[in-house]
Structure 1
Amino acid sequence: MKKTTQPIMLNSITDFCDLLGYPKPKNPLLMVVEIACVPMRTDMPLKMIYNFYSVFIKRNIKFPMRYGQQYYDFSEGIMGFSEPKQVFTIDMDQNTPAISGWFLMFHPDLIRKYGLGKKINDYNFFSYSANEALHLSEDEERMIEKIMQDIRNEYEQSIDAFSQDVIVSHLDLLLNYCNRFYNRQFITRRNAEEDLLIKFNQYLRTYFEQDVIEQLPNVNDVAAELNVSAHYLSDMLRNVTGQSAQQHIHKHLIEKAKELLLTTQLTINETAYKLGFEYPQYFNRLFKNKTGLTPAGFRGSN
């Protein structure tokens, strides 16, 4: 297979099987396979775009794997996730070792008519990026593998009127457990998260100390500066502080606004422009929403 620097679009699970030489899937919307010490093919495409969800357990990964713009860290992590339309980049050489684990793929159409079709958007780990592989204990890994086996057993059966209901119920259970384990990971990695919180607050303090703020910071830009995804940053902040990343940004913004209102002679409009607002009325609205007073009212009362 000829390698290319252009991503190969895989619109269906059948496309995936054709590309990698797997048998046709028994269910066009689902595939689950156990990987038992299979050597990675060195003729794999460098970049692929899956138009479906994937959940994978990988062991013995020694090569870089990039999801979106960041690298997955599998040095200790074992489980990863991807959502449709994201680019996977794999860097391999001739010394790439054999890997083992599980690989589950499912098309959005499989879950579209079920509650999971809407709930899956709440599982932020599908869009996580650098250093966000899920670390499993031995008991947790066994539990996840048991559900994978249940899905595979149902997948191997002849399709009938209940097949999709049963498979989606197993899939729902799998993702619920993954959600639990991710939240546990936030707790057990509290020291690392607190370090990230310190960096986050320091970045915002420095940002708002600029003489000229050209635009208000947004969550995506701040997360990129900290080398994490926006979802991960917000989840971490909610777990550690109870507030989202956007709420923290607004908190720093309002504190800086109060300082300017009380220590400078800038007009309200000038204050808004200095803080990066294009339209002063948006500044007035946000300030009142957060403090209960208009900027002018705050300045007058102090």
Structure 2
Amino acid sequence: MGEILKMNTIHDYHEFLEVETLNPLVSVLDFSKIPPIRHSRINFGFYTIFLKDINCGDLRYGRGVYDYQEGTLVFIAPGQVVGVDDDGTRVQGKGWALLFHPDLLHGTLLGKKMKEYTFFSYEANEALHMSDREREIVINCFLGIREELEHAIDKHSRSIITANIEVFLNHCVRFYDRQFITRKDVNKDILTRFEDLLVNYFDSEAPEIYGLPSVAYCADKLHFSANYFGDLIKKETGKSAQECIQLTVINQVKERFADLDKSVSEVAYEMGFKYPHHLSRLFKKVVGCSPNEYRAALAG
């Protein structure tokens, strides 16, 4: 595996691209106007959004393969590594990029909201695929930020730039909502696989060995990042992935409670609870009564 280039600052990346730095904390790049660059794997020390104006080709989602012709937005959080090993060739870039350093956000409203933009933790195969109209909106956002960068920095620059970035990110939230909706059939397939995964898990010895399944475990088994999987489940069901797991747990517990020869503690350990009172607490929260009260009702 080739060398990973560490780009701690936007200026570091600009030097690599051989372009001028207008603002050390934020940048908008049009790759069609940048000299050809070598392939590289880069550890970015700042938020990076690439708008790739290429045919994305066949992309796999769940069990389906989809051909996207539109532009693609890829979101990279500080510390993530992205790129291709250097093979010595130079390529002419095409598309755009928005870069902004975490230092830009300190003390701003956007800084407090960044954790809400979960798509920065999506994997590359969970990128945002845009229509022509959405692409036009994105480029207009980029141009608005770049226009502000071309002004001399003053006391208003930071608030104007962060406000524009927030508008752009909010558009991306809307676009992802649309993407989840347009993949209804794919999402239903994922929901079915999620349900099957949980049922098979509890039908095995896994709970007694590994405990209760986590959202991260389910996402990994279904080949999604935890954030994308969680957002998809929330959009499709109105419940969080954790809530869906808990409902499955409770349904499985109810089935086991039908065997009155088993104690609550035995069922708890079978299901993967570390302590029986953890089961009792969850059961009362979801069902509205204690396990003993539920079983008493079953016994008539």
TM-score (norm 2): 0.88
Q: Which amino acid aligns with 2:8?
A: N
Counterpart among 23, 27, 33 of residue 19 in structure 2: 23
- Which residue of structure 1 lines up, in the alignment, with residue 49 of structure 2? 55
Give the partner amino acid of 2:12. Answer: D
Report sequence identity in percent.
36
Question: More helix by proportion, 1 or 2?
Answer: 2
Decide which of 99, 105, 112 is 2:99's aligned counterpart. 105
For residues 120 and 184 of structure 1, the distance between their equivalents in structure 2, rounded to whole angstroms, comes to 21
Distance 1:91 1:8, change over 3 A: closer
Does the alignment pair 1:299 with 2:295?
yes
Show the 5 A alignment for 1:155-170: 155-170=149-164
Whole-angstrom distance in 1 between the partners of 2:74 and 2:184: 20
* Aligned residue runs from structure 1 range 35-74, under 5 A: 35-36=31-32, 41-42=37-38, 44-45=39-40, 47-60=41-54
Distance (whole Å) between structure 2 residues aligned to residue 36 and residue 296 of structure 1? 68
Distance 1:205 1:75 in 2: 38
- Map 1:271-282 → 2, pairs under 5 A: 271-282=267-278
Partner of 1:177: 171
Using the TM superposition, give the Cα deviation of residue 50 of structure 1 relative to its aligned residue in structure 2, in angstroms: 1.2
* Equivalent in the alignment of 2:111: 117
**Correspondent of 1:8 among 2, 5, 9:** 5
Q: Is the 8 A contact 1:57 1:78 kept in 2?
A: yes
Distance in 1, Cα, partners of 2:46 & 2:170: 19
Aligned-partner Cα distance in 1 for 2:137–2:290:
54
Residue identity opposite 1:114 in structure 2: T
Q: Alignment partner of 1:186: what SS?
A: helix
Cα RMSD between the aligned structures? 2.4
Cα distance in structure 2, aligned partners of 1:127 and 1:107? 16
SS of the counterpart of 1:105?
strand
- 1:261 partnered with 2:257: yes
Deviations for 1:185-239, whole angstroms, at most 9, x for unmatched residues? 1111111111111111111111111145121100011101111111111211121
C-alpha displacement of 1:90? 2.0
Task: Return closer, same or farther for 1:76/1:200 CA change in 2, 3 Å cut-off.
Answer: farther
Which residue of 279, 285, 288 corresponds with 1:283? Answer: 279
Q: Is the 1:60–1:99 Cα contact (8 Å) retained in structure 2? A: no
What does the per-residue CA deviation read over 1:151-187, in whole Å, with 9 as the maximum and x for residues that have no partner?
Answer: 1111122111111111111111111111111101111
Work out the number of aligned pairs and report it. 288
The structure 2 residue matched to 1:88, chosen from 65, 82, 96, is 82
Please, what TM-score do these two structures have when normalized by structure 1?
A: 0.87
Work out whether 1:236 is the aligned partner of 2:265: no
Cα gap change, 1:101 to 1:172, in 2 (>3 Å):
same
SS at match of 2:239: coil
Matched, 1:205 2:199: yes
Distance in 2 of aligned mates of 1:5 and 1:93: 9
Quote the residue 2:64 is aligned against. Answer: none
DSSP-derived class of the 1:31 partner: strand
Structure 1, unaligned runs of 5 or more: 65-72
Quote how far apart the aligned CAs of 1:131 are.
2.3
SS in 2 for 1:33: strand
The residue correspondences of 1:216-231 to structure 2 (distance < 5 A) are 216-231=212-227
> Cα gap change, 1:38/1:159 in structure 2, threshold over 3 Å: closer, same or farther?
closer
Measure the CA separation in 2 of the matches of 1:183 and 1:248: 20
SS of corresponding position for 2:37 = coil
* Structure 2 partner of 1:270: 266
